[in-house]
Amino acid sequence: MPLPRATEQRARPRVFRIEQLGLTADFLTLLASHADALPWDTWDVARRRRQRLERYRSVLDSHQRAALEQCHGDADDPSWTALLDSLPSLLREGLLRIGPHRRRSLRKYTLHRHGHQCWQLQPLADTRFEQPAVAGRTPVRVFAPMATALTYHPDMLRFLSGIAETIHLRCGATAVAMAVHQMLTVADGAQPAEPAPEGLHQDGADYIVSALVVRRRGVNGGVSRVQRGSIGPVLLERELQEGEGIFQPDAGSPLWHEVTPLRAAVPGQVGERLILGIDAHVLPATPA
């Protein structure tokens, strides 16, 4: 089932509920059951370590500064290990205490329309994900694959087909490539946990589901914002609840999006926000 037709044709973000796609809360329960098995995103650790070390650039010697420019902070990067070993002990220990705060996986699909609201889906093994390079985000990353049980589950296929049919109604697309992200952001300390550390941005896809909130427990923040351009007016500001998502055009549109950091609602306790996101690229129609 597609989302209901928009009442206006202008580029606008649309808040939806899973029921509009013919799904129930069982779909959320299914997704949540796999959350604890999601691998940690070590790229977040590398990014935060580099940010911390950049603040202490003035105390680094010329060799350490040159090494900082060459490495990304990954734990298995030999140049990072050598740089770490050369730092003062207090600074090194502070960097090593920085841990991950997001768990995530990825599955790519190609979808082809074969009739009225009928789509053929093909899951792919490729887990490389490319986005435009912006501040705080590398253009190419590799994620862990989404669990097979989720990849082929009928509710997952219904959800993706519904989004594909929504895109078809919008622009006539009959072939779509999708990258589907499952991401759990954990807030468990005094520092805010960032669901999207790149800030206000576009994903570089034709259409996106910036977030379908699957589970939201024990957190404050995580407000989704969509605005017109990088400095334009805010068109949508909403703290998505479980079962709610946002669908919108992305690349080539004036819409930019972001989500605010999360904090644990109760100090000393762990809060979390689990989402499903989609980047969809319209493909050329294949000959009949």
For 55, residues 6+ apart whose C-beta sits below 8 A from its C-beta are none
Rounded distance between C-alpha atoms, residue 159 and residue 21, angstroms: 7
Residue 75 phi/psi, 5° resolution? -60, -30
pTM value is: 0.89
Count the Cβ atoms, other than its own, within 10 Å of residue 99. 13
CA 212 to each of CA 28, 83, 90, 174, 235: distance values in angstroms, whole numbers, following the listed order: 10, 40, 41, 23, 18
Q: What is the mean pLDDT of each run of 10 residues along the chain (288 residues)?
A: 75 94 97 95 84 87 85 71 87 88 96 94 94 64 94 98 96 97 92 89 95 97 96 96 98 96 92 97 80
* Residue 39 per-residue DSSP state: P
Packing angle of the helix pair 42-55, 89-96 (nearest 10 deg): 150
Q: What is the reported pLDDT for 261?
A: 96
Q: What is the reported pLDDT for 136?
A: 53
Output the six-digit token pair for 277: 């996101």
User: Residue type for 174, please?
Assistant: T
Distance of CA 180 to the CA centre of its chain: 9
For 52, residues 6+ apart whose C-beta sits below 8 A from its C-beta are 94, 95, 98
Answer yes or no: are the C-beta atoms of 127 and 142 closer than 8 Å. Answer: yes
CA 165 to each of CA 107, 115, 170, 232, 280: distance values in angstroms, whole numbers, following the listed order: 19, 11, 9, 30, 12
Q: What is the reported pLDDT for 46?
A: 82
- Local structure of 196: helix, strand or coil: coil
Rounded distance between C-alpha atoms, residue 110 and residue 262, angstroms: 33
